[in-house]
Amino acid sequence: MSEYLVTGGAGFIGGHLAERLVRDGKSVCILDNFSSGREANLRSWGDRAEIIRGDIRDRADVTRALSGVRVVFHLAALPSVPKSVADPLTSHDINVNGTLNVLIAARDARVQRLVFSSSSAVYGDSPDLPKREDMTPTPISPYGLHKLVGEQYGQLFTRTYGLQTVSLRYFNVYGPRQDPQSEYAAAIPKFITCLLAGRPPTVFGDGEQTRDFTYVANVVDANLAAAAASPEAVGQTCNIAGGRRISVNELIATLKNILGSFIAPAYAPPRPGDVLHSLADIAKAQRLLGVAARVELAEGLRRTVEWFRRQSPAS
């Protein structure tokens, strides 16, 4: 039996979180169907965790994984705006039905606290900046809507069943081990791998859209803080971000500077469902969870570039 369950623990963020727990000497169970999670993310430490190859939509898998668990970190999802636009039914099944399944099983197992991974996509494309948790959500993609439903289900389970839940809205997480190969991969790993290979990175839109990028170690810190936070945090939603924004063009210029590259990006039409500007107000997370961005953007990008450079065949 394990004290901590990380759903999606073989994924990018989940793998970093599970690794931190294991290296801190915690008893950890990972539930992942490996549809996007990777064995490579577990390579150096996975033998010290219980790994269940299962699906959050399968009640038996979730019930088995929850045996003896005190805290659930629910990260398993289909985390893609474009994929949710192309196939909203599958995205809904995983992100909404799967989350409800985890909440019900956690309630029945008398779990102490569940930390839910949400997304800045819930804010949609409102021009108001910075994004604050008390703003009315206006998601413009199925993925954003699904994450909002997950937050609200968590709050309902807190009010109705007494399951302690905290939701964290991530803003553009990046870092080592992020998969650049998927058609729906995040921007930073794609940009880095293109520049390392001597290819122009593709920018959707004019590159003047802005993002509040968040280094993965800061997200791990926030999850651990949310699991241990005071009762005041229960039933609440907090932005997890750096609290500063940078345009995609500026980001590529920074990466080119770190890599010593002179390759210009290639521009393509904007993608449906993508927001233009994103910036988080992180005061609530600082107040309720006691966390701020420990790793700043420049340092996080440097660490990420160095990791991808070590993986590059040319290195």
Residues forming the active site: 143
Opening angle at CA 146, ends 80 and 293, nearest 5: 65
Matching residue, tokens 């993002």: 211
The span from the CA of 144 to the CA of 283, in Å, is 22
Q: Is 58 left (phi over 0), alpha (psi -120 to 50) or beta?
A: beta
Using CB atoms within 10 A of its CB, is residue 107 exposed (0-12), middle (13-18) or buried (19+)? Answer: middle
Question: In three state form, how does the secondary structure of 89-121 look?
Answer: HHHHHHHHHHHHHHHHHHHHCCCCEEEEEEEHH
The span from the CA of 161 to the CA of 141, in Å, is 30
Question: Strand 246-247 relative to strand 173-174: parallel, antiparallel, unpaired?
Answer: unpaired
Helix, strand or coil, per DSSP, at residue 263 = coil
158: which 2 tokens?
């807190």
CA 122 to chain centre: 13
Contact 275, 125 (CB under 8 A): yes
Distances (CA, A) of 251 to 102, 181, 207, 246, 301: 37, 20, 9, 6, 9
Contact 108, 159 (CB under 8 A): no
